[in-house]
Structure 1
Amino acid sequence: MQRRPSEARSKTTTEGAPPLGRYHDVGGRRLLLHRSGSGSPAVVFLAGGGTVGLDYLNVQERAAEFTTSVLYDRAGTGWSDRARLPRSSAEVTDELRELLHTAGVPAPYLLVGHSLGGFYARHYAQRFPDEVAGLLLLDPAHEDYNAYMPQQLVEIWNAWDPDQALPDELPDELIQLYRGMFAQEMADWPAEIREPLIEYHVSLEGLKAGAQEASNVDRLNDELRQAGMPDVPLIVLTAVGIDSFKRAVSHGTPESLLHEEIEGKRRLYTALAESVSRGENRLIDDAGHVTITFRRPDAVLQAIRDLLGR
């Protein structure tokens, strides 16, 4: 990746200046956005819960070689200003729309949504179909996800309380575990990007923001069900590997259940792709849910190219 100087200098959700990007005022909040490249449709990356825009820099920069490419931090996450979390999908998609207009990024957009970002990408396309050229969903959240999962696994998830799971002070062994996993995935990233990202991911603030943002999942599910699925060109990338991040958050969960979850994902995302006229589900067998863009940027870039070609 190219090394670039910081373009913004204001203190926000994290301590210190963001390593890359510019601030734009949206509804009285400063939101961090990084834009590069030129051309249309613009590719816009929507981060997953617990991740931030710069986590997608490796694919965002390569997409900028052939079109406009944008990543950003939602309010309350990363280097954007604080906001009370959780928020509705309508709030998040309204915010993104205003941000893109304020930053002078014209529609149409190819939205690349990872995990929770997949919720928001779909809802944006449902609400503003004339502005969306296509959707690339990376292991996306889905309102029917639990219906495709083994009941034992759903019960484990339902018993998890994020408020109790995150103490007021993180154990050093947990910090070092996460630091090591992110350092491994970002080993060849420029240090001025890698180190601030890792510090965010091992901070209590970063972990809490990720948990809080997804804590209203039932409401998000209802919003998506009411809106329906837009008939736009769609590719889903399904991660069918089990990476170190998955094993860390699934400690104590039987291996068989982790494989049943993968099979459930495959069936769900295949059904999602088949619900539109130009949909496809592609299996990525050497990456997990968190590491799909770290380990397989080639698959993400190929899907972007394919969708732009349609």
Structure 2
Amino acid sequence: MPDRSPTAAVAPPLGRLYEAGGRRLMLHRSGQGGPAVVFLPGSALVGLDYVNIHERVAELTTSVLYDRAGTGWSEPADLPRTAAEVTGELHDLLRTAGVPAPYVLAGHSLGGAYARHFAQRFPGEVAGLLLLDPFHEDMAARAPRQVLEMLEQMKNQELPEATEEQIEASRGPVEEHFKTWPERVRRPLVEYHLAAWRTGWYEGRNLYDEVAGELRNAPELPDVPLIVLSAMGHDATQAHLWPEELLREINDGKRALHAELAASVPRGEHRVLEDAGHGWAHEERPDAVLQAITELLVTARH
């Protein structure tokens, strides 16, 4: 489905547009030194959603935010896309923008799947991996039957356009959410999320089949330090989607898969955040995210 990003024709409030993969893509960098930390957003999120933790990481090393094609301030693309398309695009973008390898990739949710795939494809260019409540290819296979049925129904649904009344009703909560963001990006992010609320839905439609298959069929992860953070706290979106008992089962399965993922590499570690939800763990527990990134940088530099 073509996604018309409402801001694609507008200059980004931070960063600039680079030509990569046949499209203009937004990239913003701060700090200096290496390895560079590159944030890969979750579905429905964009690079500037991570600007607060990005600024703290930039005190330690070069920190990079970017928008995938079809999201944020990058040019439109048909959604969903394959992991190969996304990781090839990011590889080109980092080279075009002059961000030298190796990288510490910080991938969140869907971005965690893309971070893994990037490391599988370009193992010599990755110095470490932070996977923040990442998608795992076996989540559907391990999920309760009711989850599979609901996912199948949701996959075939078309989301309606929001009415002006619905958008305005959402404005207050969205503004409240972004009140701690820097003034320069606060208003653009509010307007973006009010206009592009369906983007994450379309971006994740091939997650449980095509992207999962790409992860299964790719080479093993390189022997680099890996930290997996599982967000087990309350998440408003997930609480709205799933009944409480079913969500508990989903989270139990997720915790087990994340532990297995961390154990799949020699230098993997699994940490559980009981007080952070899936969607905004980097805001709810920035200390844990920053600590993990700091440890990965120290290991990569020695």
Fold match (TM-score > 0.5): yes
Please give the alpha-carbon distance, in whole angstroms, between the structure 2 residues aligned to 1:89 and 1:196.
Answer: 28
User: Offset at 1:296?
Assistant: 1.0
User: Offset at 1:188?
Assistant: 1.7
SS at match of 2:136: coil
5+ long unaligned stretches in structure 2: none
Summarize the Cα distance change of 1:117–1:170 in structure 2 as closer, same or farther, 3 Å threshold: farther
Summarize the Cα distance change of 1:126–1:175 in structure 2 as closer, same or farther, 3 Å threshold: farther
SS at match of 2:29: strand
Residue in structure 2 matched with residue 168 of structure 1 by the alignment: 161
2:218 corresponds, among 215, 227, 234, to 227
Runs of 4+ in structure 1 over 6 Å off: none
Kept in 1: contact 2:8–2:76 (CA 8 A):
no
Aligned residues: 293
Instruction: Give CA-to-partner distance per residue, 1:196-248, whole Å, 9 cap, x none.
Output: 11221121xx2232122211221111111001431321101110012223223
Alignment of 1:259-298 (within 5 A): 259-298=248-287
SS at match of 2:154: coil
RMSD: 1.8
Please give the alpha-carbon distance, in whole angstroms, between the structure 2 residues aligned to 1:95 and 1:106.
Answer: 15
Instruction: Give CA-to-partner distance per residue, 1:100-140, whole Å, 9 cap, x none.
Output: 01111000000000011111100000010000001100111
User: Offset at 1:175?
Assistant: 5.5
Summarize the Cα distance change of 1:134–1:175 in structure 2 as closer, same or farther, 3 Å threshold: farther
Residue in structure 2 matched with residue 153 of structure 1 by the alignment: 147
Alignment of 1:113-262 (within 5 A): 113-161=107-155, 163-164=157-158, 166-170=159-163, 172-173=165-166, 176-177=169-170, 179-203=171-195, 206-217=196-207, 218-230=209-221, 231-248=223-240, 250=241, 253-262=242-251
Kept in 2: contact 1:126–1:227 (CA 8 A):
yes
Please give the alpha-carbon distance, in whole angstroms, between the structure 2 residues aligned to 1:134 and 1:284.
Answer: 20
Residue in structure 1 matched with residue 94 of structure 2 by the alignment: 100
Residue in structure 2 matched with residue 63 of structure 1 by the alignment: 57
Summarize the Cα distance change of 1:155–1:228 in structure 2 as closer, same or farther, 3 Å threshold: farther
5+ long unaligned stretches in structure 1: 1-10
Q: TM-score, normalised by structure 1?
A: 0.89
SS at match of 1:225: helix
Give the fraction of aligned pairs with identical amino acids, expressed as a percent: 56
Residue in structure 1 matched with residue 28 of structure 2 by the alignment: 34
